[in-house]
Structure 1
Amino acid sequence: MTKILMVCLGNICRSPLAEGILKSKLSNNFLVDSAGTANYHTGSQPDPRSIAVARKHGLEISHLKGRQFTANDFDTFDYIYAMDQSNYLNVIRLARNEDDRNKVEMILNLVHPNQDYDVPDPYYGGDQGFENVYQMLDEACDIIAERLS
């Protein structure tokens, strides 16, 4: 079974949205999860605005619970997608070797190769920011699903 992890800062906005989007595009032969590099929201539901934008697009993510990324995630997951440069660097700092580092990629590099564009954190913005993030992640998750299928 192929295992994919989505990582953002708090695991309540971008990464649970990415988890829900990718799960909807893959069969049950895949495990998709999400985590945050910080422990601010461990055990919390996704942000209500992430839940709302997911529902608008026919996805249910309200059952997800925030958790913090750990070095053990390198043992569990085959692919680790970071939402922005800061999260990428935080994950890489926990890498124990080159194999760990090779699992980590900026998610928007799938859409814009080698550009290292960030998925903007919509937390302090309005509802449109969550919709914009949804569209970015949906495009990236299409590419992930295509590559893995």
Structure 2
Amino acid sequence: MRKLLTVCLGNYCRSPFAQVGLARRGGAAVTVRSAGLIGKWQDLPANPSMINAARRLGHDLTHHRGHQITLEDLDWADDVLAMNAAVLDMLRAIDGGHNTGKLRLYLP
């Protein structure tokens, strides 16, 4: 089973949305988690607009709660997918070179 981690700035909009989409697309072959670089939305639901957008596409974000990334999250994942180049740069700094080969942009 492939383990994917989607990461954005706050784990409030983009990474939770990507998490549910990838989980549905990957089915039983993947486990997907999401996280944010900052803890501003730690333990809070996803953005209401994202919950509604996900619902329109058949995804459920109502159970999502924000999570600030940890080194354990990076170690857990087979692939860490950053939502943009700035997030990728910050992930590289946080990681310190331990997981460099698995850090990449979600959409190059």
| 1:15-94 mapped onto 2 (5 Å cutoff) | 15-94=15-94
Q: Which runs of 5 or more residues in structure 2 are unaligned?
A: none
Equivalent pairs, count: 108
**Which of the two has greater strand per residue?**
2
Structure 1 outlier segments of 4+, above 2 Å = none
Amino acid at match of 1:93: A
Higher relative contact order (CA 8 A, sep 6+): 2
Secondary structure in 2 aligned to 1:5?
strand
Structure 1 equivalent of residue 7 of structure 2: 7
Separation in structure 1 between the aligned mates of residue 83 and residue 90 of structure 2, nearest angstrom: 11
Deviation at 1:74, TM superposition (A): 2.1
Percent same amino acid among aligned pairs? 31
Q: Which runs of 5 or more residues in structure 1 are unaligned?
A: 110-149
Secondary structure in 2 aligned to 1:66?
coil
Residues 95-121 of structure 1, C-alpha deviations (whole Å, 9 max, x = no match): 233x50111111111xxxxxxxxxxxx
The TM-score, its normalising length taken from structure 1, stands at 0.69
The TM-score, its normalising length taken from structure 2, stands at 0.94
Separation in structure 2 between the aligned mates of residue 74 and residue 108 of structure 1, nearest angstrom: 19
Amino acid at match of 2:65: K
Q: Which has the larger radius of gyration?
A: 1
